[in-house]
Amino acid sequence: MADEKEELVPQKQSLFGLSADDVLDNALQNLDERQAADVTKKAAEEVVRVAVEKRRAEHRADAARDEMRALVDNANLLDRRGGDYQIDSSFETATGTTKVQIRKSRATTLVVAAAFVLAALLLALILLLAR
C-alpha cells in the first residue's frame, strides 16, 4: 500500500531536463576540498574583474557625458557667431563608441530649397504636358 501512495505522488520533472543551476549545483557538490578552494578563488577573481570593468565603464560614461556637453556648448558658441561650421567627434562610452556630427551650412539649406523648387517646377510641367 505504501508503494501505491508513492506512485501517486507527482514527481518534480522538467520538460527540458536539468537546468543550468542544477548542473552547477551538482558539479559544486561533487568537488573535493582542493577543487572547491580553486573554484572559490576563481569566482573571487571574476567578481573583482567585473567590479573593475564596471568602474571603468562608469568612468567612460562620465567622461563621454562631459565631452558631449562641451561639444554642444562649442556648437552653440559657433551658432551665435554665425557662419558655416561642421564638428565631427567621437566619444568612448560605457558600451562602445558614439560618433557625433554637428553641421550648419547655409549652402546646404540653399541647395535643398533649390532642389525643392526645381522638383515642384518639373512636376507642374509634367502635369501641364499630360493634359
Segments making up each domain of the chain, as ranges: 14-104
pLDDT digits (tens, 9 = 90+) for 98-116: 888 888 877 666 677 777 7
Least confident of 27-31, 80-84, 108-112: 108-112
First to last CA, the chain: 97
Q: In this structure, which amino acid lies at residue 61?
A: A
Answer yes or no: are the C-beta atoms of 88 and 101 closer than 8 Å.
yes
Higher-pLDDT residue of 47, 36: 47
The amino acid at 96: G
